[in-house]
Amino acid sequence: MRVFVTGASGWIGSATVDELLAAGHEVTGLARSDASAAALEAKGARVRRGDLDDLASIRAGAEEAEAVIHLANKHDWSNPAASAAAERGAVQTIGDALVGTDRPFLFASGVAGLSQGRPSTEADPSPFHGPDSPRGGSENLALGFVERGVASVSLRFAPTVHGARDHGFIAAIAAVAREKGVSGYPGDGANRWAAVHVSDAARLVVTGLAKAPAGSRLHAVAEEGVPTREIAEAIGRAFGLPVASIAPEEVQGHFGWIGTFFGMDLAASSAATRELLGWTPVGPTLIEDIDAGGYSAAPSAG
Ligand SMILES: NC(=O)c1ccc[n+]([C@@H]2O[C@H](COP(=O)([O-])OP(=O)(O)OC[C@H]3O[C@@H](n4cnc5c(N)ncnc54)[C@H](OP(=O)(O)O)[C@@H]3O)[C@@H](O)[C@H]2O)c1
């Protein structure tokens, strides 16, 4: 299949492009820099130069392809509204380009805010609607295209898609630990984070492209919930730092933007996804990756 991938140079996108190429797909990756373009070309992927703010380029990429996988995100944590607006704009543009084609449109999403007091499941609809909601309400916007002839599929990634050289949320928490000289966890550290290794996440994306019906919500989750206290203990071991509880009212001040997420219970099940696709995660656990030094090269905060 000819697949257009946004975010093809990113953490999940790079692994996904490798999986797509290995499965025999033709990949065109969106690249906004010479470095990202060169990395894609070196793998054997084609390149479409463009930016999330260049919707004409995204539209053309989607129109030329037989399937779209949208993984780009600005991730500007100092301006979440701008990231959400760009996300919504890209999803609207790709959806519009695919109307009436029945072509697969797989797009990144997450598990935050789907349930209260229990792990979220694929049956939980996103409560986020409209441009002012998290991620710009992009999951519901994209799934709304199903009735207009687009095979939209939500890729709900665990809050940590981990592995060596990951620069995501766990790297940010590790950076705070190094800066503060203490590996903290929120409150009693009983709140949990779902987790998945990046190789399993990429394999899920490619399996979902082949097999997921339109309208599916897939959970890229290997571990249902790792207590934040265990995450902090592993980071403490990795950097030789003391481990301490951070009082709930101090979490935001201590951790900064990542505190919003580290203080949340983000447990999630993937039972329905495994059943639907026959997908079985096999990669290392989050704690194994931290213990193996996967985050030891993380830059310090600020
Ligand atoms: N990683 C996780 O644990 C996780 C968890 C839940 C959800 N997600 C979601 O999954 C998706 C992929 O995440 P990721 O971890 O792979 O992200 P990432 O490593 O930060 O990669 C982001 C990608 O988006 C591209 N990008 C950023 N700003 C852009 C812009 N203005 N125009 C065009 N491209 C732009 C980047 O290009 P450059 O290479 O040029 O910078 C990169 O390819 C995102 O939507 C993310 O929110 C990730």
pLDDT digits (tens, 9 = 90+) for 164-200: 999 999 999 999 999 999 999 999 999 999 999 999 9
Q: Which of 114, 157, 169, 196 to mutate to test the pocket of ligand 1 (most atoms within 8 A of CB)?
A: 157
DSSP state of 78: T
Q: Which of 4, 5, 9, 12 to mutate to test the pocket of ligand 1 (most atoms within 8 A of CB)?
A: 12
Strands annotated E in the chain: 2-6, 26-31, 46-49, 67-70, 104-110, 151-157, 160-162, 183-186, 192-197, 217-220, 223-227, 243-246
pLDDT at 301: 43
Helix (H) or strand (E) holding 264, with range, is none
pLDDT at 280: 98
Ligand 1, residues at Cβ distance < 6 Å: 7, 9-13, 30, 32-33, 36, 51-52, 71-75, 108, 110, 157, 159-161, 168-169
Q: For a pLDDT cut of 70, what percent of the chain falls above it? A: 98
Give the Å distance between the CA of 168 and the centre of ligand 1.
Answer: 9
pLDDT at 296: 85
Give the Å distance between the CA of 242 and the centre of ligand 1.
Answer: 32
- Residue 195: which of 144, 88, 267 has the closest Cα? 267
pTM for this prediction: 0.97
Positions in the chain whose pLDDT score sits under 50: 298, 300-302
DSSP state of 249: G
Give the Å distance between the CA of 4 and the centre of ligand 1.
Answer: 15
Distance of CA 63 to the CA centre of its chain: 24
Q: Give the separation between CA 145 and CA 149, rounded to whole angstroms.
A: 7
Q: Which of 5, 11, 78, 138 to mutate to test the pocket of ligand 1 (most atoms within 8 A of CB)?
A: 11
pLDDT at 299: 52
